[in-house]
Structure 1
Amino acid sequence: MAQTLLSVSALLLSVALFIFGHGLQTTLLPLAADRFYFTDLEIGAMSSAYFVGMVLGCLGAPLIIMRAGHIRAFAALVSLMSASAIMHPVIVDPYAWFLIRMISGFCLAGFYMIVESWLNETATNENRGTIMSFYIVILFAALMMGQISIATMSISSFVPFVIASVTVSIAIIPISLTTSTQPAPITLVRFRPRQLYRNSPAAFVGVVFVGATQGALLTLSPLYGSQIGLSTNQSAFYAAAIIGGGMLAQWPVGRLSDRIDRRLVLVGLGIATIAASLAIAFFSPNEFLVAIVSAVLLGMFTQPLYAISVAHAFDHAPSEAFVETSSGMLLSFGIGSIVGPLAASLIMRQIGPSGLFVMLIVANIAMVAFILTRIYARQALTAEEKTDFEYTSTAQVGSVISPEPLDAEAEEYVIPPEEFPAYEDDIYNFEHAEEDTPKTDEDETGETAATQDDATDAEASDKRS
């Protein structure tokens, strides 16, 4: 195991540094915006802008990677993210912060794609689960540490912005010095919401509502903590506790969903979220210990929802469509995340900090109601028909983690690197793929058969029916 992790140590170190800086900004920015007298609506719009950037990054970052290669694209995106972090205290204006957060979201989406495609290629069938599990653990641990680190700084100073920028900048060093060969070009797939809906309406609609609730919680929970009377330090721990609760519940809830209808698990988590949100909205726990316990419980109920939704989508998707399904679900989550913070901030402006949880209640009621209709409309799969729950392929961190290895000879996953100048000189063995794999026709945008055609998907859907 040590040798396995050593082979990807540079990547994992870059992940830890980059996500630490990102986590610090996640908690710092809503608190700093409140201190600078931004309105709740402006803070919500700024939070939504981050997810607008993520959606645009999912669509546009692969083109940058294919043009420049993994290492140069990584350096460019990380440098831009670092510059964005340091610009917040330089231009204290809600419109400027809206644009900066959009840029940050774009960079983060590209970062995830580069790291995950690199890890996928480095891994073998025997160690893929180990590598991806360590990646997920390091990612969320770094996110929590970044959120908590604000407790050691003053948000009224320039220091936390500098630390966020410097930490992100340093993330370039391990990748820049690595001797590993960059992997094949990034996977390119189409976003086809109608196809995703046909495969699994419960998963597709569910993940949009999950995006709305989790997007609001991730970006506005520090602001909520501050508004109910928690100190800056306590608000940071409150936000981190939600992530921590989710980490505790992911695996056991996922395994439970392997044994029973995943839609019932989604309904159960939705009802639990509604109950917890009602309690928090009415009682507004401002004692630190009570607030932390409520945040952990809320995280245990809300954070596994995305992974269970994606696992349910995999259950109804053909194996050759797993990459497209994973990417599509992430984009759907991003679209929901754009709406969530904005809607929550509007309600918070009207009724106060409890408006965040009113939005959670409304979104989860809608999600539960829709999934219940699907339970009656479609028979549940048996345990044998399901895809085993694997959190490393269902976490909402990127769009290229797949339950199946990415095979250089499989046209539905990888675009041959000879199409892109950035990869012409790489020491990557594609000769066998060129000999055995038939050439694909490209459309006007340069997209190849990495996107499956509609007829194949329709035929697969008919067989499952």
Structure 2
Amino acid sequence: MLTIVMRSIWPIFLGILFISLGNGLQGTLSSWRADYEGFSVITTGLVMSGYFLGAFASSMLSPAQIKKTGQIRTYAAYASIASTAILIQILFIEPPVWFISRFLSGFCIAGIMIIVEGWLNSISSNENRGQLFSIHMVVVWGGLAMGQGLFVVDNPAGVSLFLLASILLSVSLIPILLTEIKAPDTEIQESLGIKALWKSSPSGVITLGVSGLASAGFFGVGTIYAIKSGLSVSETALFMTLFIGFGAASQWPLGWLSDKIDRRKVILLCCLVVTSICVLLSLFEFSKTVFLVLNGLIGAFTLPLYSLGVAQTNDRLKPSQMVSASGTIIFVYSLFAALGPFSMSYFINLFDEFGFLLYLAGVHVLIAIIVFGMMFITDDVDESDQANFQVMAQRPSVVGMEVIAEEALESQLDSD
């Protein structure tokens, strides 16, 4: 059954692969080039925050736009705007223009993800939705990681890499516009209030929100840390690739572990590992190989925190609330993520590369303290009542929340 469905929807995955490749390349390139062009560290942080502000705005405005103009036309418009936004960065090397460019990129790419997930949700069945969503996550994370490798294709001080990122976004249109998939009707979900979400799971909300400070900060100005640490262009590309690649690969084993024990213990483990590595990197000098691997391990235990936070939250929601909670989760994560690049850049500006490590350690210690405290206030959810862990691409997904809700309902029916 899955094979038959894949034959009809492979253009969607091909299109999203090109989107992820271009997006991964553009993010790293923009941060590196901003430093090269003489932007201050804080200015770079503000510019890179534009992407996450755009994603936040898209989560509120894109569903209505998609309903008005349809999936395919909206996808085409968003891909074209995102492609053009990259080219604008070549023509006008000014911080305000680059902020607008990053805002447009975040708005359009987040909107495209909403469209793609709507397609997957309508085409899939209860039996294969989880498998399709897993494939979608592999494509997204794989594309982002491989996009970092494109950073070494040419000199980032020139215009070629900007052109390549623009081309990749434009090419993503081809498989989508030629597909025969019927666009589904779009439904705008009501959001579960933030007060109700917080009351249900303070640990989950804190984890998925505050972790955005770390992950978005890294995606925004991680290259500045690499530059200040003396890495070359190729080493910077490897640095970013390892962070994302390790972060993607570790989600499944950590998710499996969190399904077996109290998720908060897994969250504490992640925070402990990241903080310990930051302390080691602060106190000792390592060879570049060890340095790169240790930073990759930071990604392995930082990036899964978002998915763990979503799972921890879902454990304390009714299945009927899970999909409606996605809107509030978007709000919480986007709010913190928009602050991530700027706040991390502020620490780097004050303390150079040590500020990067101090910031990451501080964020993870904050999560650990709150989650540890909550373990004495609220009881763990029984394993039989836990919602199954799903990998998330640093934003709530309609498909992912549907999968979790369906599995929770089935588990509930089986226990009855």
Q: Does 1:146 align with 2:147?
A: yes
TM-superposition CA deviations, 1:156-193 (whole Å, max 9, x none): 11100001011101111111111111011143333621
Q: Structure 2 matches for 1:151-162, cutoff 5 A?
A: 151-162=152-163
Which residue pairs with 2:317 in the alignment? 317
Give the 3 Å change call, closer, same or farther, for CA 73–186 of structure 1 in structure 2. Answer: farther
TM-superposition CA deviations, 1:392-423 (whole Å, max 9, x none): xx44245312343699xxxxxxxxxxxxxxxx
- Residue from 397, 400, 407 that aligns with 2:398: 400
TM-superposition CA deviations, 1:315-372 (whole Å, max 9, x none): 1111111112233223211111111211111111111122112111111111111111
Q: In the alignment, is the contact (CA less than 8 A) between 1:43 and 1:345 conserved in 2?
A: yes
Give the 3 Å change call, closer, same or farther, for CA 304–100 of structure 1 in structure 2. Answer: same
Which residue pairs with 1:56 in the alignment? 57
Q: Structure 2 matches for 1:351-366, cutoff 5 A?
A: 351-366=351-366
Matches of 2:66 and 2:268, distance apart in 1: 39
Aligned length: 404
Amino acid at match of 1:208: G
Q: Structure 2 matches for 1:265-344, cutoff 5 A?
A: 265-283=266-284, 285=286, 287-344=287-344
Give the 3 Å change call, closer, same or farther, for CA 259–406 of structure 1 in structure 2. Answer: closer
CA apart distance, 1:239: 0.8
TM-superposition CA deviations, 1:204-251 (whole Å, max 9, x none): 122111000111112222221111111011101101111111122111
Amino acid at match of 1:237: L
Matches of 2:404 and 2:305, distance apart in 1: 26
Amino acid at match of 1:160: L
Q: CA RMSD in A?
A: 1.6
Matches of 2:348 and 2:394, distance apart in 1: 26
What's the % identity of the aligned pairs? 28
Matches of 1:282 and 1:57, distance apart in 2: 42
Matches of 1:45 and 1:22, distance apart in 2: 18
Matches of 1:105 and 1:41, distance apart in 2: 19
Which residue pairs with 1:209 in the alignment? 210
Q: Does 1:223 align with 2:224?
A: yes
CA apart distance, 1:3: 2.5
Q: In the alignment, is the contact (CA less than 8 A) between 1:17 and 1:167 conserved in 2?
A: yes
Give the 3 Å change call, closer, same or farther, for CA 175–230 of structure 1 in structure 2. Answer: same
Q: Does 1:135 align with 2:133?
A: no
Amino acid at match of 1:400: V
SS in structure 1 opposite 2:399?
coil
CA apart distance, 1:384: 0.8
Q: Structure 2 matches for 1:25-64, cutoff 5 A?
A: 25-64=26-65
TM-superposition CA deviations, 1:108-166 (whole Å, max 9, x none): 11011000110111111222122111111111111111111111111111100001011
Matches of 1:229 and 1:397, distance apart in 2: 32
Matches of 1:140 and 1:248, distance apart in 2: 9
Matches of 1:236 and 1:156, distance apart in 2: 14
TM-score (normalizing by structure 2): 0.94
Which residue pairs with 2:198 in the alignment? 197
Amino acid at match of 2:304: P
Whichever structure has more helix as a proportion of its residues is 2
Q: Does 1:170 align with 2:171?
A: yes
* Structure 1, gaps ≥5 residues long: 408-465
Matches of 1:190 and 1:398, distance apart in 2: 12
